[in-house]
Amino acid sequence: MPPEPPTRPNRWGALPLRVLFVVALPALLFALWWLASDGSTNVYWPPLRTILKTFPDVWTRDRLRADLVPSLLRLLAGYTAAAVVGVGVGTVIGSYRKVRAVCEPVLEFLRAVPPPVLVPVIMLFAGIGDTMKIVVIASGCVWPILLNTIEGVRAVDSVMSETARSYGITGPARIRSVVLPSASPQIFAGLRQALSIGIILMVISEMFAASNGLGFTIVQFQRGFAIPDMWTGILVLGLLGFLLSVVFQLVERRVLGWYHGLRDSSRRSP
Amino acid sequence: MTRKRVRGGGSTGRAVNAGLGAAGLAAFLALGEAVPRLGIVKERYFPPTSRIARALGDQFTEGTFWTDLGDTLTGWALGLAIAVGAGIVVGVVVSVVPYLRETTASTIEFLRPIPSVALIPLAVLLYGTELRSVLLLVVYASFWQVLVQVMYGVRDVDPVAEETARSYGLGTWARVRHVLWPTALPYVMTGVRLAAAVALILTVTAELVIGAPGLGARIAVAQTSQAVPEMYALIVVTGLLGLLINVGARSVERYALAWHQSVRGEVTV
């Protein structure tokens, strides 16, 4: 579970000071990079000035549409499929003790396989098109979601589930209003792990065999020794990873707001 | 949240569970044998379990397999060691020195989600297929796992204990050693366990994509030469390796935390 650090009483209250804390180090690092690389004649470490100047030329609107959008769509498709399958199957496995015992060793093994090695296998089945990439992303993302859902579902408070049962809340209603909410903090932990795996797999599947996508483009630049262009690609991937994680945090904060609130208040009053 | 590891049941319950698990595994293997034999999936794409097992046996008799396995393990262990060492040192320093945590927070939050594979092109250019390019990726990816856990762990230090240690006149080093470290250790162990898994993924990935010698490169070769059973056998090996690393990390964790009463709330990032 990503624990939101309890907001500490702010010792240095003043807003300007806090802003300073946030921007000081990034600004310093940026300046260092700028200065250290400015006179650089090393082919592999072009001056930051050059990289930034190349950036708008490389990442034009056309390129964004041709590379970034397909990448993101594949990531979205694979991730969504993994989430649906992971939560669905995980709820079933987590609800029945026997099923869990039967599946556990197999799942442990499948989870332990490093997801990128599945790229060659899935290429056999699905060729090198979009299907392959979506399946690769889904097959890597599904494990953390599945296993965390199982954990979350089996840890549902027994008093709560007995109460629900005695009120006659059973079947789908029970899953919707008791099991899933109670497992959701764990499910979100899985979703978060899956997100970074998904990005990795998105890039890797495009590095193997593709005609578009971020991974493909960056490798193209590297092979063509277009070093500043390659650097801009790395920056784009970094920004993308950062943005997706911010979006995820916002969604999580909305969905799990009740849970963090609960935890904070129980921390404050021991 | 607390994870309930083994719930009730005692030894008989565990034996039943193990039996069911073995049955599940057997069913899984049987399914892998039956599906291609019945022609549901082409054998060319998915060889039956027995053929994968034979290919696996053949691998074990080949000398190059063991060298490749050794290369993978070297990359994994070195990368993990560097990442854990750096993560602990940086994490403790950042948390202990006043103001450092506030000033570094935004940078860490920014750098952490950057996918490590973004560095693949750079690694290729700088170090080619050397071990160093594997290490670059592995260390980058696993460092954050450890660092963030260390920082959460240090934050968890009981203020009363900290104040007590201070009022007894313990110096910075003694406080780190006797107050901070024991509190943070469970978190550190979780971080190491996560980092161990991530390090394996990145080691194999780097070998697969960059071509640095190791199991990953071997899989890539098997794939391009259409040696399908060998490819599956090698994937099984990486899975077993991952399993061993998970189990190993868990037992190290249990050993290092033997003194620790509860199973800690697990913080996953």
DSSP per-residue codes, B31-60: HHHHHHHTTSS-TTTS--HHHHHHHHHHHH
Provide the H-helix boundaries in chain A. 15-38, 48-58, 61-63, 69-95, 97-112, 118-126, 130-154, 158-166, 171-174, 180-208, 214-223, 227-255, 257-268
Residue A234 has pLDDT above 80, yes or no: yes
- Measure the CA–CA gap between A9 and A12, rounded to whole angstroms: 9
From A118, which residue of chain B is nearest by alpha-carbon distance? Answer: B235
Cβ distance of B205 and A200 shorter than 8 Å? yes
Arithmetic mean of pLDDT over chain A = 84
Residue A66 has pLDDT above 90, yes or no: no
| Confidence band, pLDDT 50/70/90 cuts, at residue B7 | very low
A114 and chain B: CB distance < 8 Å anywhere?
yes
pTM assigned to the model: 0.84
To test the contact with chain A by mutation, choose from B111, B201, B263 the residue with the greatest count of A C-beta atoms within 10 A, namely B201
- Residue entry with tokens 């009363």: B160
Q: What does the block give as tokens for B99?
A: 């103001």
A237 and chain B: CB distance < 8 Å anywhere?
yes
| Confidence band, pLDDT 50/70/90 cuts, at residue B138 | very high
Q: Report the pLDDT averaged over residues A243-257.
A: 88
Cβ distance of A117 and B223 shorter than 8 Å? no
Residue A147 has pLDDT above 60, yes or no: yes
Q: Report the pLDDT averaged over residues B32-44.
A: 84
- Measure the CA–CA gap between A100 and A91, rounded to whole angstroms: 10
Residue B268 has pLDDT above 50, yes or no: no
A204 and chain B: CB distance < 8 Å anywhere?
yes
Q: What is the CA radius of gyration of chain A?
A: 23
> Who contacts B96 (Cβ-Cβ below 8 Å, separation ≥6)?
B154, B172, B176, B180
Cα of first residue to Cα of last residue in chain A, in angstroms, is 21
Q: Report the pLDDT averaged over residues B17-30.
A: 88
Provide the H-helix boundaries in B112-227. 120-127, 131-155, 159-167, 172-175, 181-210, 215-224
Measured at the CA of A25, the angle between CA A24 and CA A30, to 5 degrees, comes to 105
Q: Report the pLDDT averaged over residues A97-120.
A: 89
Distances (CA, A) of B87 to B19, B79, B117, B201: 40, 12, 20, 19
Q: What does the block give as tokens for A3?
A: 């624990």
Q: How many CA atoms lie within 13 A of B21 on its CB side?
A: 13
Residue B8 has pLDDT above 70, yes or no: no
A22 → closest Cβ in B28, B106, B219:
B106
**pLDDT the model gives residue B3:** 45
**pLDDT the model gives residue B10:** 56
- Shortest Cα distance, chain B CAs vs residue A260, angstroms: 12
Count A/B contacts: CB-CB distance under 8 Å.
182
A270 and chain B: CB distance < 8 Å anywhere?
no
To test the contact with chain A by mutation, choose from B187, B208, B263 the residue with the greatest count of A C-beta atoms within 10 A, namely B208
Q: What does the block give as tokens for B67?
A: 């060298």
**pLDDT the model gives residue A13:** 59
Residue B68 has pLDDT above 50, yes or no: yes
> Who contacts B166 (Cβ-Cβ below 8 Å, separation ≥6)?
B175
Residue B2 has pLDDT above 50, yes or no: no
| Confidence band, pLDDT 50/70/90 cuts, at residue B252 | confident
Q: Report the pLDDT averaged over residues B195-218.
A: 92
